[in-house]
Amino acid sequence: MQRQQHQLKKKLKLKVLVKGRTKLVCLLAAKNTLKDLKKQIKDDKCIDNLDKAIFQQKDEDDELVDLCDSHQLGSGDKVHVTYETE
């Protein structure tokens, strides 16, 4: 039982780049999709117009590609966020 509790406390650390600034976001290891990241950002209230925000990561060619909500994120991943302010 202790082993399972330890795994639940393990966190996934992500770097989220917003307006050129890096924000470190921690998610529980069991919750590691883009949808979970969006929920965490919404709870932190650090992005306006979250529904219209574009979430991207760089591919092998260093090009930004859009992410879908079911995209699996790994520890240390950088997620680029673009959004408009009101």
Total Cβ atoms within 10 A of residue 16: 21
Q: 47 lies in which domain range?
A: 15-83
- For residue 85, the model assigns a pLDDT of 63
Residue 5 located in a structural domain: no
pLDDT at 4: 34
Query: Is residue 3 domain-resident?
Result: no
User: Within a domain: residue 4?
Assistant: no
Total of domains in the chain: 1
What are the strands, taking DSSP E only, across 29-73? 54-58, 64-66
pTM of the predicted model as reported, rounded to 2 decimal places: 0.65
pLDDT for 20: 57
Let me know if residue 31 belongs to a domain: yes
Domain assignment of residue 6, yes or no: no
Question: 68 lies in a domain?
Answer: yes
With tokens 């966020």, the residue in question is 81
In tens, the pLDDT along 34-82 reads 888 888 778 777 676 778 788 888 889 988 899 998 988 877 778 888 7
Q: Is residue 8 in some structural domain?
A: no
- Domain assignment of residue 70, yes or no: yes
CATH number at residue 33: 3.10.20
